[in-house]
Structure formats: structure tokens, C-alpha cells
Amino acid sequence: MKRYAPDRGPVKQPTRPKLLQVMGPGLITGASDDDPGGIAGNLREHYPRWLSTSVVGFTLPPVLRILGWVATGVMAATVVAMGVTWVV
């Protein structure tokens, strides 16, 4: 059913914009903008100091422990693969 505006002809309905047209180049560049310096700056600006220090304090030790396990596993795999017996 066509609707007509008085003395202007048929009314053109607005088209629905496509997702990529709405998002634009920020869809790709927004994801690559999360560098650690930017994240740290946003934490300092938007959150109180006690919250950011407690979050870092609770999450850093488990992450460092896992990193140590991974480094130990890589070292052990290297020793086994190379057949080195003199490494303590």
C-alpha cells in the first residue's frame, strides 16, 4: 500500500542501515585499541584506587603461578627433547 503526502508524491520509507555501515571502521579499530597502557589509563581514571589495587592484588598471583607452571613445563620439555642430563 503506497501512502502519499499531500502534493509531494509517494512517501519513501527509510531503509534500515546495514550493520557494517552503522559500525563503520570502529568495528575493527576499536578491538585493536585495547593496549595495556590504555587499559591502565582507563582504570586510573574511572575506578577508585582501592578497587583497582584489590583486583590486581587478587588476580596477579594466580596468573603468575600459572605462568611459572608453563615456564617449568617448557623447560622440562626442552630438557627431555634435547636429552640433556646435566641440567639441574
In the numeric block, the cell 590486581 is attached to: 56
Does residue 37 sit within a domain? no
Tell whether 28 is covered by a domain: no
21 lies in some domain: no
Residues 6 or more apart whose CB falls under 8 angstroms from that of 11 comprise 2, 3, 4, 5
Q: Hey, CA dihedral for 79, 80, 82, 83, is it positive or negative?
A: positive
* Overall domain count for the chain: 1
* Distance separating alpha carbons of residues 61 and 57, to the nearest angstrom: 7
Distance between CA atoms of 82 and 68, rounded to whole angstroms? 21
- Look at residue 18 and tell me if it is in a domain: no
Rg of the Cα trace of the chain? 28
In a domain, 81, yes or no: yes
**How many helices (H) and strands (E) would you count in the chain?**
4, 2
State which residues form the domain around 54: 49-88
Please report the pLDDT score of residue 69 as a whole number: 95
Please give the mean pLDDT across all residues of the chain. 77
- The answer to whether position 40 is within a domain reads no
pLDDT > 60? residue 5: no
Mean pLDDT of 31-51: 73
65 is a domain residue? yes
- Which whole number is the average pLDDT over 65-76? 93
Domain-embedded: residue 57: yes
pTM: 0.44
CA pair distance 62, 57, nearest whole angstrom: 10
